[in-house]
Every structure is written in structure tokens, then in C-alpha cells.
Amino acid sequence: MCFTALVSEIRVHLANRDDAFIVAALVLQMDRAAGEPARAGFLREYADAWLADFDHRPTWLASLPDNTAIGLVQAGLIHKMPSLRRSTTSWIHVSLVYVRETERGQGVAERMLHRMIAWGSSNGVERYQLNAVPEARTLYERLGFSAPTDRMMELLTPSDPAIRPFGR
């Protein structure tokens, strides 16, 4: 399908449980576009995993007027535990931003991210984070994202269980 809808005609909504296979199909499209081979049963596997984590995995879908799904923003919602030292807050880690190639460059991702931020603001979210690929940095900067402080660190553990971190 060619991009014929105006951006204003594209519908963006917070996905619900009935959208599990639509979410899975878009992730499959994204992975296939990146050159990954298909795997039997992937749609059900992804849909089941997404549903199992539904309350902590808000996802926004973009659709054309004919209801064809063209993009998604998927996030992890994290709630801090209560503390006497600081207020209890929530934050969102944006894990996926995908728009079909034929609709890219038309503002679809920006609309989905705006919707995510509006939802977060009304649900007590105070911080949004993501890992930006160089091609998308200007999009995120337009929305107000900036580089984090030097305090952000990560630990990647080996997938081989025979390799134990810290000599354990």
C-alpha cells in the first residue's frame, strides 16, 4: 500500500489486549525488514509474551483510515518503590519505535511519541528514556529528549551460564 493518508487521518491509540496479534505482526515486520529470518510460531510467542506483561508494557499503535496498522511505540513502565528520601515516581523506557518504510518521514513516529508522553503525564510518569539510533536522534530531540548524564550505567551479563560474573 502506498502512503496516501494525510498524517491527520492516521489514528494513534493505546493498544489493548485485543491488539496482541497486531503488535506481534508489526514486530515481525520490523525484524524481517532488518533481515532476520522468520520463525514458525513467532506471532503467537510474541503475542503471549506481550499479554503476560501487558500492565507494564504500554504500546501505542498507528493505523491508516482503513485500520491497517503502520507503526508502534512500545515502552516499559517502571514504578519506583516508596522511599522516605524521595517521592514515588514512575518512568518509561521506550523499547521500540517502528513505522513501516512506506509511511516513514511523515510524522507518524512523532505523533505516537506525543501520545505516549501525554499518556505518561496523566499517569504520573516523570521521566522517559530510550536508546537512540543516530538516524532518529533529531526526532527525539524535537520532542525534548537529550543525552543523559554520566550516571547512567549498564551491565551486560553473558548468556552462557558457565561464565559467572565476579568469579562466582
Task: Give the Cα separation of 114 and 39 in Å (integer).
Answer: 33
> Three cell numbers at 78?
517502571
Structure pTM? 0.84
C-alpha to C-alpha distances, 111 to 35, 39, 72, 73, 115, nearest whole angstrom: 27, 31, 10, 10, 6
- Give the H/E segment covering residue 46: helix 42-52
Q: What is the pLDDT of residue 1?
A: 41
Q: Where are the domains of the chain?
A: 7-149
Question: 5-9, 16-20, 36-40, 42-46: lowest mean pLDDT where?
Answer: 5-9
Task: List phi, psi (to 5°) of 7.
Answer: -55, -35
Q: Which of 34, 48, 103 is nearest to 72 (CA)?
A: 103
Q: Model confidence at 54, in pLDDT bands (50, 70, 90)? A: very high
User: Across the chain, where does the E strand assignment appear?
Assistant: 11-14, 59-63, 69-79, 90-99, 125-130
Task: List phi, psi (to 5°) of 46.
Answer: -70, -45
Mean per-residue pLDDT over the chain, rounded? 88
Q: Which CATH number fits domain 7-149: 3.40.630.30, 3.30.70.270, 2.60.40.10, 3.40.50.720?
A: 3.40.630.30
| Span 137-154, average pLDDT | 80
